[in-house]
Structure 1
Amino acid sequence: MRNLEGALQTYYLLLGCIQYAVGFFTARRQSELLNIKFKHLNGQDNCITTLVMKTGIGEARLTHDIPVIPLVTRMLSRLERFHQECGLSPEQIKNSNCFGRFSLKRKPGINKPDPKKYNCHLDILCDYFQTDSYNERRYYVRQHQLRRAFAVSFFYLNTRGNLSVLSYYFGHMDFKQIYRYLTTVVGNKEMIDIKSAYLAEETITQGAAVQDLLNKLGVFPPTTVLKVIERQRLESYYKSLIRNEKIKIDTTFLSIEDRDEMLISITVSESQHGK
């Protein structure tokens, strides 16, 4: 305590808590978070301006304004006030990185953050809350895991839809990227759930995909009465068709007027026709 180790640990824990919350709710890459400065915060409109790291070099990169929930704005505003209490001027803070450490060396200021120190704050957070251990080794969370967790949470909470919204929020310039990203973090079982949910929704709303499916299944006699069954049963039915490879759901991406569009193709196996 004489060396202020306890106070420093608490300060790093504070940074870790803020990094965890901001990292999850903004779903940015770690490199993007490291470059966020207090001047990039817009508390009035609840948004943050970030550089999209895969679109160029240095200041030539594209900027991306992402909306954030008020909690993120409040946490970063309190961190800004913390630095003010430490004696830094508003101009110093404005041009400093949000996740840099306060320093008293030579001249008070905020050091530029780096990945090692950023991860150190998350490690202290995990130690403090005693996250699970495996083989006597603690599990330490990283930003790419928070980013993936957000993608999966958003996908399920929005009824497995709105891929274009998620693509925009993630800063993916190519719509195909977000679909491929999801397929790497969502397991096979979940993908079957997603595909069956899509078919069930198309069937209920009589969308283009179900019309195509009915045409492929064959022509029904004029006296046939078609009735849509309950949504959950319908999903279960489509799951069994996909698992048994009676139907196959694929995605195709097209670029129309500089805009990516995703098409769903449905393949019905010959056994479905009784051949």
Structure 2
Amino acid sequence: MKSSWIKPFYEELSITKAPVAYREFPGVPVRGEERSESAPRFYLRALESFHLLESVGLPTSNALAESSKNVAFIKNLSLHPPGRYRTVPSELVLRSFRSAVEFALEYAEELLDAYVFCAKTAQATGVSIPQFLEKESISQFLGPKLTTIGVNTWSIGRTARQGLNTRELGVNRDEFDTQYFSNLREHRGLWDLLMVLGGCYLVILGTLMARRQGELIDLKVGSMLNSSGSHLRFKARKSGTGDMRQTLERPIPAFASELLRLLENFQERLVAGGVLSETSNALMFPKEVNSGLLKAGQSSFNFMLDRFCDFFQTEIDKNGRRFYLRQHQLRRFFAMLFFWGNSFSGLDVLRWFMGHSDAEHLYHYISESTPGHVLRGVKADFVVEHAKAHDPQTLPLLDFIENHFGTREVLLLDSDELGEFIEELLANGSVTVEPHFMRGTGGTTYEVLICVSDNAQ
């Protein structure tokens, strides 16, 4: 029996370039520490599992199985704890969000319709979609938009691999890789565009809803939206185990809700057509080689995000590396957006929306993921707002303001100029703005304090 397990790709184990590139460019590290212990630990766990081959009658090497227990070998590995996720440039995320929304609204319905039509027809003949389309034209399953943009095959990568296998003269892997990404952006493959669409869903939900990756993986057809479609329903991670996790509801914009309804209808039609036995996790998109849907999980999510970034050509850094988005980065970006728009006054709402049980934990999470100059700007805006509202705790600042501007009447001052001045005070330590957390029987409460240093000049 053929395994449907999608094998992950590890660049460290690649002797030469793969026949169809996993990514168009090397990726900008998503964590602050480029080398971490995660990859070596993965390989060690794989070595530990070699003895399981014996249970199914397959030969194995005792040396490989025992190598994972070699203390001297493990001690010589350079292992570092994984660094924190890096902050993605805000302009990049905003452009990606716009691209995701525009693509999904324009093509999602036709892409999903085309797959359902094709899958049901192939199912009736008893073969997989790729096998079926070797003899039938894909054009009969496409709507007018997909025909217009140039879809003409099931999978660009499958076609490229078949070409490589023929060992034709002049064929080389680099040429196929280059051609693949060119064809991807020319909309040639239906399956490839479905992968891009999956990336669009992840970018939209990640930016708007700030959900953990596991919470998106767990979304189920038929239960992820409330009856009106106005709220996303999900099992909160880090709030219990298994079925005991708390179910939360958070507001979701109408267009995003409609996109999720399309996925529900998509799976329901596949069940009705005999392609699927039952509906399952919502963010499952088609397999390339066989009929059916990829399992929702980290590997499939990251693959779709990579295809999204290559399709829309996200920025390249000075080292020739592309920014490949990850779900946790989008979740952090949401926190940054909320800070920029609402300052500290929205901390409780953000904590509720993001599913954190502790306000102090949320604040540390946000402050660690927000660039220093951005956070100073947020704090400066907070001070200006409260100074103009005559908050008593801003009174110690008036001496600074009068010495600089020649007046204590903050309402007469330009907010931007005053904000820049406050930022200077924050940068040199003359002023600090931090939330003070207090724990009581009702949980953690906080108050944002504006303090002037005793040593301030």
- Give the shorter-chain TM-score range: 0.7 to 0.9
* Distance of 1:85 and 1:94 partners within structure 2: 10
Whether the aligned pair in 1 keeps the contact of 2:271 and 2:279 (CA below 8 Å) is no
Match of 2:432 in 1: 248
Q: How does 1:118-129 map to 2 (within 5 A)?
A: 118-129=301-312
SS at match of 2:338: helix
Q: Shift of the alpha carbon at 1:186? A: 1.4
In structure 2, do the counterparts of structure 1 residues 94 and 52 end up closer, same or farther at CA, with 3 Å as the change threshold? farther
Q: Shift of the alpha carbon at 1:4? A: 2.7
For normalisation by structure 2, the TM-score amounts to: 0.52
Q: Shift of the alpha carbon at 1:101? A: 3.2
Question: Deviations for 1:240-275, whole angstroms, at most 9, x for unmatched residues?
Answer: 322332223333201344142222334433344x7x
Match of 1:81 in 2: 265
For normalisation by structure 1, the TM-score amounts to: 0.83
Structure number, greater radius of gyration: 2
* Distance of 1:208 and 1:127 partners within structure 2: 53
Letter in 2 for 1:130: Q
Q: Shift of the alpha carbon at 1:133? A: 2.8
Letter in 1 for 2:218: N
* Distance of 1:243 and 1:137 partners within structure 2: 32
Whether the aligned pair in 1 keeps the contact of 2:383 and 2:450 (CA below 8 Å) is no
In structure 2, do the counterparts of structure 1 residues 94 and 75 end up closer, same or farther at CA, with 3 Å as the change threshold? farther
Match of 1:140 in 2: 324
Q: Shift of the alpha carbon at 1:166? A: 0.9
Question: Deviations for 1:11-49, whole angstroms, at most 9, x for unmatched residues?
Answer: 222222112212221110111100011222225141111
In the alignment, structure 1 residue 47 sits paired with structure 2 residue 237: no
Structure with a larger share of its residues in strand: 1
Which of 205, 208, 227 is residue 409 of structure 2 equivalent to? 227
Greater shift, 56-65 or 237-246, is seen at: 237-246
Match of 1:4 in 2: 154
Question: Deviations for 1:221-257, whole angstroms, at most 9, x for unmatched residues?
Answer: xxxx952242333323322322332223333201344
- Superposition RMSD on alpha carbons, in Å? 3.1
In structure 2, do the counterparts of structure 1 residues 37 and 105 end up closer, same or farther at CA, with 3 Å as the change threshold? farther
In structure 2, do the counterparts of structure 1 residues 237 and 124 end up closer, same or farther at CA, with 3 Å as the change threshold? closer
Aligned sequence identity (%): 27
Whether the aligned pair in 2 keeps the contact of 1:43 and 1:73 (CA below 8 Å) is no
SS at match of 2:345: coil
Question: Deviations for 1:166-212, whole angstroms, at most 9, x for unmatched residues?
Answer: 1111000101122111111211112222222222122111224224x
Match of 2:349 in 1: 165
Letter in 2 for 1:227: E
* Distance of 1:214 and 1:168 partners within structure 2: 33
In the alignment, structure 1 residue 196 sits paired with structure 2 residue 384: no
SS at match of 2:190: helix
* Distance of 1:244 and 1:132 partners within structure 2: 34
Which of 216, 219, 222 is residue 36 of structure 1 equivalent to? 219
Whether the aligned pair in 2 keeps the contact of 1:203 and 1:210 (CA below 8 Å) is yes
Q: Shift of the alpha carbon at 1:105? A: 10
Whether the aligned pair in 1 keeps the contact of 2:232 and 2:252 (CA below 8 Å) is yes
Letter in 2 for 1:170: M
In the alignment, structure 1 residue 21 sits paired with structure 2 residue 171: no
* Distance of 2:391 and 2:282 partners within structure 1: 47
In structure 2, do the counterparts of structure 1 residues 104 and 125 end up closer, same or farther at CA, with 3 Å as the change threshold? closer
Whether the aligned pair in 2 keeps the contact of 1:24 and 1:147 (CA below 8 Å) is yes
Q: Shift of the alpha carbon at 1:158? A: 2.6
Question: Deviations for 1:32-80, whole angstroms, at most 9, x for unmatched residues?
Answer: 1000112222251411111111112111112211111112101111122
Q: How does 1:99-114 map to 2 (within 5 A)?
A: 99-102=283-286, 110=293, 112-114=295-297
Question: Deviations for 1:92-115, whole angstroms, at most 9, x for unmatched residues?
Answer: 798510112346999x86554121
Question: Deviations for 1:86-141, whole angstroms, at most 9, x for unmatched residues?
Answer: 3547xx798510112346999x8655412101111111111211222343443211
* Distance of 1:18 and 1:140 partners within structure 2: 15
